[in-house]
Amino acid sequence: EVSLKKPGVTARVMPSFLRFGSAQLAAKRQGPQGLVRLARFALGVLARTERAGVAAPPGSESLPPPLRESCFFGSQRSCAHEADALSDDAVLRCLLERTVQRTAALVAAWMAVGFAHGVMNTDNLSLLGLTVDLNVYGFLSKYDPAWAPNHIDDTARYAFGAQPEIAKWNLERLSDALTGTAFVMDREPDAGEWHQGEEWLDKKSAQLELTRFQGLFQKCYVARMELRLGLAPSGAPCVTSGSSGCTVRRWLRWLEASGADYVRASRGLAEASDADALAAHAGADPAKNAELKEILADLSKLQGEHWRELVRARVPVLAPRSHVLQEAARMVEMEKPGAVVRGFLQALQQLLREPFDLQPQVLTAAHDDPRSFWRGRDLSAESLSEQSAERLREQLKERLSAMPPQNLQQIRTSCGAQ
């Protein structure tokens, strides 16, 4: 389908836009010395980024420092801070080490909040472990690891559940660049002269760093899921039945088997008194309620005194539902958007900036009805009363917290639609 699209300019601000692909290009065109220069620059930026850190999730102040640093982007001092004093080989290894660590933590964060990037190639992954190049992304409604937000991803290569494995594949391509494998295989004809005395990263060292990814990802993913379940985060794997790590695993399996709405099931935990009410609230298959009852029983043994407050602080009520974002995208393209359209877009921005609600919620099987929301609203109206604007905002808030219609639960999007 061919259609005219209005152009637009988006200004993005980041510490650096260096990607995995930047290292691939440097290897192909400039050889080891070009890579070393790039690595020293990237590590200098990364050192400043690590020094600053990011705000800790609510209730995670008691995180063990190693877990805070490795999985939650806490302020830390790594080999990046010593880059100027490192040998060329050590600089390349440091870059791979930090990229493996931060990519594992990043993808774990994506998986915990239900985010699917959509196009995870080497040109779209940051050397600093930051989320970049958003385009055909989406957030889970129905929990489905096979869901891919990109409508042209026919093989579901970049499906939600495939993201850890795809991240690992990209790290392997970065390793190919740093060890010279890609240079030998795919050197550009106009590449600068490569001197035989220059050294690439040792392949055994690179492989050692790559093997750390899976363990790092699992630790970070479990820790973030523990936070969402109101548990003390440890990142420990599933070893003993009824343990925190095993309960996380059972919870994820129930979500998939029951087809529950991810946001409503996760946030509904804070209000759930029984499995039947939570399942109905999340639109889950009631045939799986026996498993859910066992999970809730395990959670009650593991959770502390104030776990409900912690879940409310960590899990949002409102979600950036893909079908609502597409409505917004279509409105942006309108020739003459009226006051209703402007009010809708402003309310959407405001609500998604503050998606949490610390107040208890009533568990209900609420479904979004887009047609009912727009019925009777004049999109070309030149004015919107304060009362009407507030009513629009409250109804939009209800939509963002409700389950999408069946045909919009796994919506896929095209390039630029969001």
Dihedral of the alpha carbons of 21, 27, 29, 30, in degrees to the nearest 10: 130
Write down the catalytic residue from 84, 88, 123, 276: 123
Q: Is 413 helix (H, G, I), strand (E, B) or coil?
A: strand
**Do 267 and 357 touch, CB atoms closer than 8 A?**
no
In the numeric block, the tokens 């568990």 are attached to: 363
- Number of residues that make up the chain: 418
Question: Interior CA angle at 28 toward 25 and 34, to 5°?
Answer: 75
Distance CA 282, CA 300 (A): 20
- Residue 195 per-residue DSSP state: P
Q: Does residue 84 carry a catalytic annotation?
A: no
Our separate counts of H helices and E strands in the chain read 16, 2
Q: Cα(first)–Cα(last) distance of the chain, in Å?
A: 18
Q: Rounded to an integer, what is the distance from CA 180 to the centroid of its chain?
A: 31
- For the record, the structure tokens of 403 come out as 């389950």
d(CA 372, CA 257): 31
Residues labelled catalytic: 123
